[in-house]
Every structure is written in structure tokens, then in C-alpha cells.
């Protein structure tokens, strides 16, 4: 994983490793700028190499692209639920079905603890299994609930909530938070004038 490059892409609210990989994967869909870094096989190859999640020899096929987009959609739905403080039962069930189809790669750390093997993937299924494993690991450690989608629907950028009470709603308060607060204020003013 190219941690430095991925961290830079997350614009200041990067998740810790290895959850950073899932955050970056979720952000391959940029709602605000209407950019999909997984739009084509060629685009996906470029992103996977830049991110360090795939080796230069990773096959990117139409089938992998379809499965990757499905996984990204499920992850984004779950992150939106994290921001709302609730659950998306249908997305959770679909993620469970997807996880049952992939063997999560594990390795032992120097102290004997099992962790997800996040070595760059050579095969399409390895990549999906690694991402699913990272989600599982983050859920087990309690980090998962801190990964959220920005509450600004025009943004919907995945960010890591570092706040003590886990109450963050915006990827950037100075930008998205202010936009929403100003929009809400203007709506209240219009309603009061009417």
C-alpha cells in the first residue's frame, strides 16, 4: 500500500493503516467532481498501481471491475449509515454474502497476532478479499464506526472521524459543514419570510 500517496488523497482526515485502503477505495467515486476512478478497466489499473493495492501484474478484468464497484457501493452505504449512527441491514447482508465467497488472507505479525495480509494483490479475488478482511479487522477493533461519508450530499467523501466523541459529520467543517449550515440558515430565513 502506498500510504503516503493514499494519505495525501484523503485531504487531512485519513484513516489509520490498513483501514486507509478501504477509505481510499470508497473515495474512488468522487461525487462532487463526478469522477469515478474505477470507470473503466484502464482507469482501475492506474488507480490500483498508484495506490499500491495491486501489483503491476494484477489482472483487471471487466468481472473484477463489476465486483469492485459492487463492493465499493456496499462500503459507501455502510459508511453513510456510520455517519447517521444507524445500520443499513441490506448492505450488511450483501457484504456478508460477498465475504462468504472470498477467503480472507491472513499473516502472523512478529508477536504472533493474526492480521490481514495487505501485500499488493496479484489476482483479482485477492484484492477483494483483502478489502473485506480490512473491513472485518476494523469492525473488530472498533475503528470501523469512525469511517463515515460526509453528511453533505453534494460531497459524500469518506473521512475518518478523529473526534473524541465520534460525532463528526463533515469531511471538512470549514467547507462542507459551513455549506450545509448556510443552506439550512437560508431555508429558515425563507420560511420565516413566507
Enumerate the β-bridge partners of residue 147.
Answer: 160
CA proximity to 39, closest of 29, 48, 31: 29
Looking at the chain, the whole-number percentage of residues with pLDDT higher than 90 is: 72
Using pLDDT thresholds of 50, 70 and 90, give the confidence band for residue 189: low
Please state the rounded mean pLDDT for residues 42-51: 94
Question: Is pTM, for the whole model, over 0.85?
Answer: yes
Q: How much is the pLDDT for 175?
A: 59
Q: How much is the pLDDT for 157?
A: 94
Tell me the domains of the chain and their CATH numbers: 3-147 (1.10.3300)
Q: How much is the pLDDT for 12?
A: 77
Burial of residue 62 (CB within 10 Å: 0-12, 13-18, 19+) is exposed
Pairing of strands 29-30, 35-36: antiparallel
CA proximity to 118, closest of 110, 109, 107: 107
Asked if the model's pLDDT at residue 185 lies above 60, the reply is: no
Q: Which of 37-51, 102-116, 119-133, 160-174 has the lowest mean pLDDT?
A: 160-174
Answer yes or no: are the C-beta atoms of 130 and 124 closer than 8 Å. no
- 37, three cell numbers: 476512478
Which strand (E) or helix (H) includes residue 79?
Answer: helix 62-84
Amino acid at each position: 500500500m502506498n500510504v503516503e500517496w493514499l494519505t495525501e488523497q484523503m485531504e487531512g482526515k485519513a484513516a489509520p493503516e490498513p483501514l486507509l485502503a478501504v477509505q481510499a477505495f470508497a473515495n474512488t467515486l468522487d461525487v462532487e467532481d463526478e469522477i469515478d476512478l474505477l470507470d473503466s478497466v484502464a482507469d482501475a489499473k492506474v488507480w490500483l498501481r498508484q495506490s499500491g493495492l495491486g501489483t503491476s501484474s494484477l489482472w483487471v478484468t471487466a468481472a473484477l471491475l463489476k465486483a469492485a464497484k459492487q463492493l465499493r457501493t456496499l462500503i459507501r452505504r455502510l459508511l453513510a449509515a456510520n455517519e447517521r449512527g444507524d445500520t443499513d441491514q441490506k448492505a450488511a447482508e450483501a457484504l456478508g454474502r460477498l465475504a462468504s465467497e472470498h477467503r480472507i488472507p491472513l499473516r502472523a505479525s512478529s508477536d504472533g497476532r493474526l492480521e490481514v495480509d495487505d501485500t499488493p494483490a496479484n489476482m483479482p479475488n485477492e484484492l477483494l478479499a483483502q478489502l473485506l478482511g480490512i473491513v472485518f479487522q476494523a469492525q473488530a477493533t472498533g475503528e470501523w464506526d469512525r469511517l463515515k461519508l460526509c453528511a453533505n450530499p453534494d460531497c459524500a467523501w469518506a473521512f475518518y472521524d478523529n473526534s473524541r466523541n465520534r460525532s463528526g459529520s463533515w469531511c471538512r467543517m470549514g467547507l462542507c459543514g459551513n455549506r450545509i449550515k448556510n443552506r439550512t440558515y437560508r431555508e429558515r430565513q425563507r420560511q420565516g419570510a413566507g
